[in-house]
Structure 1
Amino acid sequence: MKKFFLIVFSTIVSGVLIACSPAHSPISVTQEVSQSNEKNVYRLNIETQYLLYIIDGKKIIEGRLNVPDFGDMKKGDLVYFTDGNGGQAICSITSVGRYDSFNKMLVSEGVINMLPQIDPNTNSSEEMLLKGTKIYRSFPGYKEGVKIYGAISFGLKFLTDESVANIEIVNVNDA
């Protein structure tokens, strides 16, 4: 079993958590990782627009394919989002839902909670649902992947305080 260690340091700047790895190491971990205090920490790539929605509090639920790496995901675990452009955020998981389709996930969780760029003032509920489903199916591998894995949603609480100042992340998966 290979182990991977990463110490994440954070600073509060204008009420926003800024996190970076020591010496800005180019680290690409996209698998489940485990934190030493019994919480799982998931490192996930995310598009910049969605990262900004999370930081602004507009996107409060994330949706993904329910791949096996998310099998142990639970309330209280952490998600470390990176956008590939230096943007990062750490969130606590507030809820977890599993669905057999994106449509059911969006109906249950609310399109606006997951995809805040879809304006409820200019779209009917049906239009929002159609647009939301289309967005999820447009992500590489998602259209076919949802038939195999289903979908998972997880509620997000963006962490802006010093409680995440020094998080040790240990990859416990075989590489």
Structure 2
Amino acid sequence: MDAAPQPSPNPSASTAATATTTAARPAAATRRQPLSRDSSLMPRYLELIRSGTKTVEGRIRAGKWADVIPGDIFRFFSTQAPPSSTLPANTNTNSVSVRCRAITVRQYDSFQAMLEGEGLAACLPGVQSLEEGVEVYRSIPGYREREAVEGVVAVGLELLLTDDC
């Protein structure tokens, strides 16, 4: 004999569980400890993060960017001198880096949706229009093709420490 299904003792718990399981990120991924990660950045964006002007990093949702959680620590680096650099001529730009903590992580289907949701100025300071911002991301090799397939992730950043490692 089959037993009749038992109602959940807490109907709101059932709703909460449904909301968690329908999120883009599996629930198990959010239970892990924060990770330390390294990632390269174009010099211009490294300097904007260092200055506190750029507060959101947008990427294709793949590889290490597919499972970012709040609390992950990033060391962003560039091996090139930033344009119109304020660094002294003898500075070793091969080791300039910035450390940040991921404070928010939001997933989007497109760069346009990400820029609308996070704000153009937070993602791309100095870019004047949404269309220009979308094109900045899509001009990165491979991003135009991968955007529709993998989606994008917006990581809100808290500047921790500027290193010259």
Counterpart of 2:39 in structure 1 is 44
Counterpart of 1:70 in structure 2 is 65
**1:148 positional shift:** 1.2
Moved over 2 A (4+): 68-72
The percent of aligned pairs where both chains have the same amino acid is: 31
**1:91 positional shift:** 0.3
Counterpart of 2:19 in structure 1 is none
- Decide which structure has greater strand share: 1
**1:73 positional shift:** 1.0
Q: Map 1:1-175; keep pairs closer than 5 Å.
A: 38-85=33-80, 86=94, 87-118=96-127, 123=128, 128-160=129-161
Q: Which has the larger radius of gyration?
A: 2
For 1:156, give the aligned amino acid: L
CA distance in 2, matches of 1:64, 1:70: 7
- Superposition CA RMSD, Å: 1.8
For 1:73, give the aligned amino acid: V
TM-score w.r.t. length of structure 2: 0.67
Unpaired segments of 5 or more residues in structure 2?
A: 1-31, 81-93
TM-score w.r.t. length of structure 1: 0.63
- Decide which structure has greater helix share: 2
Unpaired segments of 5 or more residues in structure 1?
A: 1-36, 165-175
Alignment size in residue pairs: 118
- Please give the secondary structure, in 2, of the residue aligned with 1:44: strand
Q: Compare relative contact order (CA 8 Å, sep 6+) and give the higher one, 1 or 2.
A: 1
